[in-house]
Structure 1
Amino acid sequence: MKTEASYNKLITSISIILPIAVATLFGVRLPNVEPLSFLPPIYASTNGLTAIFLLLAVVAIKNGNRILHERLMKASLILSILFLLMYVAYHMTSDPTPFGGEGSIKYLYYFILISHIILSIAIIPLVLITYVKTLSNQFDKHKRIAKITFPLWLYVAVSGVVVYLMISPYY
């Protein structure tokens, strides 16, 4: 089994490389590839399911159902990864969609979008650290960091749906 130090190196690497890779891929447009315009409602739905699974996982652990909690958390992690893959694929095949709202709704949209992006980067190491604490049977530490990770991850999942709903009329 890996040591916690080796996991920490991996977490640090992923937490740095993943946002850089996503930002880099945003600048890439695949020529002669049909835009994957069907993806936004699908990846928004994966965010919605992630939020539901996160909430159900908290209920499960509060009710003492550790196995269901673990399964829901793994499903949340898988859904988040699928979201990211679909999101990048969409943006590599489609031009950016400008938000068409005006006035205060525009400021609200950009506040939610920017906070969503910043927190989606911040939760990468938090989710991974929280997960590693379970792998190393450090459940007290897992519980402490999960109290930080959970609301941030939930915000990212819910705000992703809100951002989609706000921009969807302009696709």
Structure 2
Amino acid sequence: MASITLGGNPANTVGELPAQNTKAPDFTLTKSDMSTVSLSDYKGTKLVLNIFPSVDTGVCAQSVREFNKRASKLENTKVLCISKDLPFAQNRFCGAEGIENVEMLSDYKTGKFGENYGVTFADSAFETLLSRSIVIVDQNGQVVYTEQVPETGDEPDYNAAVETLMNA
């Protein structure tokens, strides 16, 4: 269980992020067209898992914009933005913002992604939503970087994530 804060108040997640230098846990998530996708669909590609509570909050939306600009331009790299938002809300956001370089994925059906990656809020006002985290997976499916943002209202360390990608 990770201890973080939400608006300065204590909050906990159901577990810990996957350890670095371990195989990334598999997942099945819902794409914007309501089809499903799994980790194996990205085999051989570097991944940024940009995980957050909801695209309808300012900091979450900013993280999508930033990774859309920074990481999506890197060779052999995909940015996966993961929340429990319904695919309809994710599509609306991307259309309104002109976001075209990231993939929006939803954990709304089962919540297994959040459990397997240890990022589901176990308590607080955001209970059952996903905590703001970054996981970088290299082209071999290994976790090479993780960040669980200590205060949910803060942005992740984009520079550290992109630097890891460039060196992976």
Bigger radius of gyration, 1 or 2?
A: 1
> Which TM-score applies when normalising by structure 2?
0.28
> Which TM-score applies when normalising by structure 1?
0.28
